[in-house]
Amino acid sequence: MSEVLQPATNPRVYAVMGVMAAVHLGCFGVIYTGVSTPAVIVLVITYIVRGLGITAGYHRLLAHRSYKTGRVVQFLLALAGCFALEGGPLWWVSHHRSHHADTETDKDIHSPKTQGFWQAHMGWMMTNGAFEEKGANTRDLHRFPELKFLQRYYVWVVSSQVVGLYALGTALDAINPEWGTSGLQLVVWGFFVCTVLLWHATFMVNSVCHTWGSQAYDTGDASTNNFLVGFVAFGEGWHNNHHQFPLSARHGLLWWQVDFTWWLLRGMNVVGLVSDLKLPKEMRD
């Protein structure tokens, strides 16, 4: 067994186990709350906002610096990433950078080739190794106190959206009871259901995209391009492309490779919110 996957002794591991179990079980709340049109709309909006916070914020901006933006936009993208309940920005980036540095080795804590599919998908977050990142590879981000704030108060940031969703559901019910919504209903759909769907979409990048798919490039690892993951994870499923060009802001390099994150960044670039979008040399204008 890999050293990082030894039986858990860190108390935080049990906290993560509890949270993951609780969030999955919370989805069964739909049996009690039912569904409404506002609940579905909130589910879609929260999935998009949180998902793009991970892909455009945590991944392509903070982890790889594949484009430039101001600190306000950077903070808002990182905040959206926090809402996804996938860890604070500094922790997330540290693990992702380690993945690229040690891909498919015993040090790669979420490689299906060395740790197994389950560990790569989500089991690694319930091991001691998940909390052994020293943070030395994220020192460039420590100069932003707002990112350190999000990391330090991550639990409160995550909790705030539950309060916000409950308040929104209560307000919508007061405005129009015929919509059939409630505070608890929006929490169930906008937090629990959304989180589980987004978790597994993101986790598939580590597991599925190192197991099934095609390889356009010989990257020396098992990274693949997978259309399904590319769609549900806003372009992150073009993982073989990403391992070949890790600094590229665009992962779907061909016209048919759907990359919603790239489309967002192009739009933000047009209105001046981001700049210096990095691309592979052969794709530069």
pLDDT per residue as tens digits for the range 168-225: 999 999 999 999 999 999 999 999 999 999 999 999 999 999 999 999 999 999 999 9
CB atoms within 10 A of CB 100: 15
CA-CA distance, 48 to 56, in Å (whole number)? Answer: 11
Could you tell me the residue ranges of all domains in the chain? 36-283
Q: So what's the pLDDT on residue 1?
A: 42
CB atoms within 10 A of CB 104: 18
Could you tell me the pTM of the whole model? Answer: 0.95
CA-CA distance, 6 to 210, in Å (whole number)? Answer: 22
**C-beta of residue 194 within 8 angstroms of C-beta of residue 50:** yes
Q: Residue 258 carries which DSSP code?
A: -
CA-CA distance, 150 to 37, in Å (whole number)? Answer: 32
CB atoms within 10 A of CB 269: 17
pLDDT digit string (tens) for 28-67? 999 999 999 999 999 999 999 999 999 999 999 999 999 9
Pairing status of strand 68-69 against strand 274-275? antiparallel
